[in-house]
Structure 1
Amino acid sequence: MIRVLLADDQAMVRGALATVLGLEPDIEVVGQVGSGDEVLAAAKETAPDVALLDVQMPGTDGLSAAAELHAALPSCRIIVCTTFGRPGYLARAMAAGAAGFVVKDSPPEQLVDAVRRVHNGLRVVDPALAAESLATGASPLTPREHEVLRAASDGGTVSDVARRLHLSEGTVRNHLSAAIGKTGARTRAEAVRLAEERGWL
């Protein structure tokens, strides 16, 4: 049996995934959690062969949870399953140790096949997303630019961001200016939007 752990903050989606996988004779869903914060503890308790993680969850997001899980239980194979098929998410998921990346609107049999293939040691990536990811390339943002742009995403002022990150206002302005240039945006809000669309934030 392939033991599977599901992590998705939407109970209905989680239930549907559990039902689809549970119909297969060689797959057993051994655990379900609704946030990234619960993934590691649940994995230690249920010893899954494969963990299916959503990207956007409350608390720890799926990509950070994937990195934690991969570091703590490298034998557990990880598939990131998301509504948001963004190229940057794919690159970040693979860097976090994921072996698969599928979008939620894939046919159910594709998801089942991905679980089996990843369990057998293969990598599974949505082909259209892989092509788009290659075309878009990796995030050009430095870790600090990423941090500053994320902190600015709620529309706070430069002084708000500076206070939150314990930086000077001049430093925040410099990082925001660099991020705006690298995303090809005209404004800070547009830089945030473009970075989110590409999966860089």
Structure 2
Amino acid sequence: MIELYLAEDQSMLNSALTQLLELEDDLHVVGSAGDGQTAWAEIQRLQPQVAILDIEMPGLSGLDVADQIQAAKLPTKVIILTTFAQKAYFERAVTAQVAGYLLKDSPSDDLIAAIRQVMAGATIYAPELVVNMLSADKNPLTERELAVLKAAAQGLPTKEIAAQLYLSAGTVRNYLSAIFSKLGVHNRLEAIQVAQRNKWLAS
């Protein structure tokens, strides 16, 4: 059972999310709050496995609470849930080593999946946020990573990409893993979408 804590200042959303999460057999909401100060006090006491935090709350913001959790070295993983796709917020969340950063208008299934993935050790950032944060003239990919992604965009499987680029299949998988990490995505489709929107795949 994954123990969750929810901090959201909109009471209706707080209640709806709590009920939604409780419908899952492996999820349990151990507490919730409408302000950051209460959330931080209860997270210290309860030490849930995952804290789902809104950014803008009375008292302490979700990012303030995330900073406190990191500073106190608590085992709690943090997922930020927000309507704000602001660069400063996102950069601060990355600095606070949050495990997830999702938009509130994402499907509820995305949040549930993210909780499970975070517990498995993944870091989940909404692709829309990554696209907003990355500048078209700041392509983080190397030439070889771009070549691998271009081949993937053609729909080629790993073995064919490897043959085309004279690499081993294992090396191609390593390149793809590095690409996903740099772009903050978790599959080929999302990586291709980010690259296409930023025109990195244009020849």
Q: TM-score, normalised by structure 1?
A: 0.65
Question: SS state of the match for residue 75, structure 2?
Answer: coil
**Sequence identity (%):** 39
Q: Which residue of 2 aligns with 1:166?
A: none
Q: Which residue of 2 aligns with 1:27?
A: 27
Q: Which residue of 2 aligns with 1:72?
A: 72
1:86-135 per-residue CA deviation (whole Å, 9 max, x = no partner) reads 23211111111211000100001001001111111110000011121122
Aligned-partner Cα distance in 1 for 2:38–2:73? 14
Task: Assess if the C-alpha contact under 8 Å between 1:87 and 1:136 holds in 2.
Answer: no
- Structure 1 residue ranges, 4+ long, deviating more than 6 angstroms after superposition: none
Q: Quote the RMSD (CA, aligned, Å).
A: 1.6
Q: Which residue of 2 aligns with 1:13?
A: 13
Q: Which runs of 5+ in 1 are unaligned?
A: 138-201
- Is 2:127 the partner of 1:127? yes
Aligned-partner Cα distance in 1 for 2:30–2:136? 37
Aligned-partner Cα distance in 2 for 1:5–1:94? 20
Q: Which residue of 2 aligns with 1:140?
A: none
Aligned-partner Cα distance in 2 for 1:54–1:121? 21
Q: How does 1:71-90 map to 2 (within 5 A)?
A: 71-90=71-90
Question: SS state of the match for residue 135, structure 2?
Answer: helix
Q: Which residue of 2 aligns with 1:98?
A: 98
Question: SS state of the match for residue 57, structure 2?
Answer: coil
Task: Assess if the C-alpha contact under 8 Å between 1:39 and 1:69 holds in 2.
Answer: no
Aligned-partner Cα distance in 2 for 1:103–1:136? 22
Q: Which amino acid aligns with 1:115?
A: I
1:15-57 per-residue CA deviation (whole Å, 9 max, x = no partner) reads 1111111110000000101111122211122220000000000
Task: Assess if the C-alpha contact under 8 Å between 1:64 and 1:96 holds in 2.
Answer: no
Q: Aligned in 2, Cα 1:21/1:73: closer, same or farther, shift over 3 Å? A: farther
- Is 2:40 the partner of 1:56? no
- Is 2:111 the partner of 1:111? yes
Q: Which amino acid aligns with 2:50?
A: V
- Count the aligned residue pairs: 137
How far is 1:14 from its partner?
A: 0.7
Q: Which runs of 5+ in 2 are unaligned?
A: 138-203
Aligned-partner Cα distance in 2 for 1:125–1:51? 15
Q: Which amino acid aligns with 2:105?
A: D
Aligned-partner Cα distance in 2 for 1:73–1:14? 26
Task: Assess if the C-alpha contact under 8 Å between 2:33 and 2:39 holds in 1.
Answer: yes
Task: Assess if the C-alpha contact under 8 Å between 2:9 and 2:58 holds in 1.
Answer: yes
Aligned-partner Cα distance in 2 for 1:116–1:71? 24
